[in-house]
Structure 1
């Protein structure tokens, strides 16, 4: 059977990246909206109504129409090509390694550990694209005089290196790695655990229904667990340096400032578009990944029979 076909580690990395890129192209508008809502929260002059999802959505459409939801798409694709290729490929490789010769899935603690390692590694690789993505998706929200006007992710990276120094590519890297540790422990480990539990329940077979149920569970858990650190990461990566002093000194400081200036529950500001983005992205990524992996196994199995 094709299920017995082992996928090489290199192919796992490629399959993970392809699945994440396809999912990102579909949900990119929700990512843009989520970033705009998170940044609107720090505008003390704006009313609560002006910070709402409905108001921001209408403003974006009024500004540029549908195209307002697609700035930074090239950065989003590059981010997945670096970050998700690394994290998904590494997680699946480590998952297979820790399963042993009998292919028994590792325990929950091991899943959490390899998910954290995979996420942190992927974040370190993908931070430059992440910085470009945050800036490009939030540029239209800045005053005209402060807009950077990047034309593509490569233009953004080149200008950042030239104007601010190449080290700026990794601005907020620690915050990004912290978020990635939380996201991947919640997302990857919960997906594997949910899939295992649902299969063992006897109500599911290993098919697209199982993949959908497991990824929806993973998406909900990931949303609640990761949004506060995602907000901190977004604020840090989009902050300005005023008289040589950064707005935030780190993740904890950024979260503390949000609580102090905007209220505790603003740590979950934009949870609806965040879940609307991370839920479908999680579902699509895992469904595409499972289908790509199965297609690879089938192709290899059938080739061996010839």
Structure 2
């Protein structure tokens, strides 16, 4: 197998492995985050006052497995999603070297931004189905399958911005900002902090950098995440489209509900993507290293 093709396959396989591990561990927090983001205020049909209240309410009304609602689309998507993330990041990184022998801070930031935008295009249809399933207040056993939900969306709304591509503008913002900050922080700080000789200390160095990078990126991009959930979730009034485009939705939420409404679901998001970001990078780097040595 030619060297470039082999390297690409290794990056794709390592990225897919990283995504599968991360989503399997952290999905319940994503469900809780979505529930907070789609509720419009205290007059919403179901209003969660805290993460604990959200978990208790969902388990009582919808069953324990409701915390895993919508997990199939992410599982199906994680291999191509993370594969695209890490593979395209490596390619964009080489592109944005601009003749320099070593990457600069801008190299990592631009490569992260472009990899996030590419990833968003791949992942948005899966996100559309996932949010639909996560927002349904039904018993887990009563829900339709992810494939059935996707077929209904396509049959009723098509593939466009009212159908399976709904929320693409917000998804582009969410993933572009997150990847730009995440990769720029991790790779720049990893270069500044000396590598530890002790394997345990080296593991903690990388885990801590991934955790901090994921936390900062999640805090920065959450207004786009709230907009995505509002656009892809149920509209406040049936038959009326209130949330459609990213920045218009952000403005509407800000005007009607205040600044902090743009940060709904921040705690479960950080609890998921802070550690999740660290787990993802560690799995990717170790899997990629193993594949380079053994394939």
Relative to the length of structure 1, the TM-score reads 0.84
When residues 44 and 241 of structure 1 are mapped into structure 2, their CA distance, relative to the original with a 3 A threshold, is: closer
State the alpha-carbon separation in 1 of the partners of residues 238 and 30 from structure 2.
31
State the alpha-carbon separation in 1 of the partners of residues 84 and 272 from structure 2.
21
- Structure 1 residues 188-247: Cα deviation after superposition (integer angstroms, max 9, x where no partner): 222211211223xx6677842232122012112112111111111111111439687521
Deviation, structure 1 residue 49: 7.1
When residues 241 and 67 of structure 1 are mapped into structure 2, their CA distance, relative to the original with a 3 A threshold, is: closer
- Structure 1 residues 258-291: Cα deviation after superposition (integer angstroms, max 9, x where no partner): 2122211121122111100111210111111111
Deviation, structure 1 residue 99: 5.8
1:39 aligns with 2:34: no
State the alpha-carbon separation in 2 of the partners of residues 51 and 88 from structure 1.
37
1:258 aligns with 2:258: no
Counterpart residue number, 1:165: 158
Counterpart residue number, 1:236: 231
CA RMSD of aligned residues (A): 2.9
Counterpart residue number, 2:112: 115
State the alpha-carbon separation in 2 of the partners of residues 228 and 132 from structure 1.
20
Aligned match for 1:95, one of 93, 96, 106: 93
Other structure's SS at 1:214 match? helix
- Range 262-271 or range 76-85, more displaced: 76-85
Counterpart residue number, 1:304: none
Counterpart residue number, 1:156: 149
Deviation, structure 1 residue 84: 2.2
Contact persistence 1:131–1:169 (CA under 8 A) = yes
- List gaps (5 residues or longer) in structure 2: none
Contact persistence 1:91–1:118 (CA under 8 A) = yes
Q: How does 1:132-147 map to 2 (within 5 A)?
A: 132-140=129-137
State the alpha-carbon separation in 1 of the partners of residues 63 and 110 from structure 2.
44
Counterpart residue number, 1:19: 18
State the alpha-carbon separation in 2 of the partners of residues 191 and 204 from structure 1.
19
Matched length: 287
State the alpha-carbon separation in 1 of the partners of residues 174 and 38 from structure 2.
17
Q: How does 1:164-243 map to 2 (within 5 A)?
A: 164-167=157-160, 168-199=163-194, 207-240=202-235
Contact persistence 1:204–1:210 (CA under 8 A) = no
Q: How does 1:24-103 map to 2 (within 5 A)?
A: 24-40=23-39, 42-46=40-44, 50-96=48-94
Other structure's SS at 1:166 match? coil
Other structure's SS at 1:296 match? helix
- List gaps (5 residues or longer) in structure 1: 301-306
Contact persistence 1:115–1:185 (CA under 8 A) = yes
